[in-house]
Amino acid sequence: SKFAPHPTCKTYDIDAIEQSFMSTTLYALIEKHPTMRPLNKPSMNDGILNGTYCSSYNHLVRTQGLSIWGQPGGRPVRSKLDGAIKEQINLGTEGLKPEGSALFNITGVRNERIRKMFRLSEEEKKVWLK
């Protein structure tokens, strides 16, 4: 193992905790509604729980050094072009009151749009910024 487990982690069976959470009424209620299912994941970037997801991911963190962003070495490095795109997209929500943001789910829409833009080629990004 590349990294030693945290001392506190040794005291918990995270598979049992994950399975226990999956057997709750709350988990079952959320699973009934497709648009709510992402709430049953550790984060929006994680996969779905399956009873061993957390321990599997923990193993990858220890053996491959994965970060919370799911890749070795930590957060992905963004180019200046990506930073400019994110800034332009964020300008669209500037001055919006919190209740307006919540009403239109601006955060989720904005984040998905930013991720989509980051996947464009450098040339497509330059065209979009013009």
Distances (CA, A) of 78 to 18, 71, 83, 129: 33, 14, 7, 16
- The reported pLDDT for the residue numbered 21 is 93
Question: Residue 66 and residue 62: Cα distance in Å, rounded?
Answer: 7
pTM reported for the whole predicted model: 0.49
Q: How far apart are the C-alpha atoms of 81 and 64, rounded to whole Å?
A: 29
pLDDT for position 6: 64
pLDDT truncated to tens, each residue of the chain (130 aa)?
A: 455 666 776 788 889 999 999 999 999 999 999 888 888 888 777 888 999 988 888 877 777 777 665 665 555 667 788 888 778 777 766 777 776 666 555 566 667 777 788 788 888 888 888 8
Other beta carbons within 10 angstroms of residue 100's beta carbon come to 11
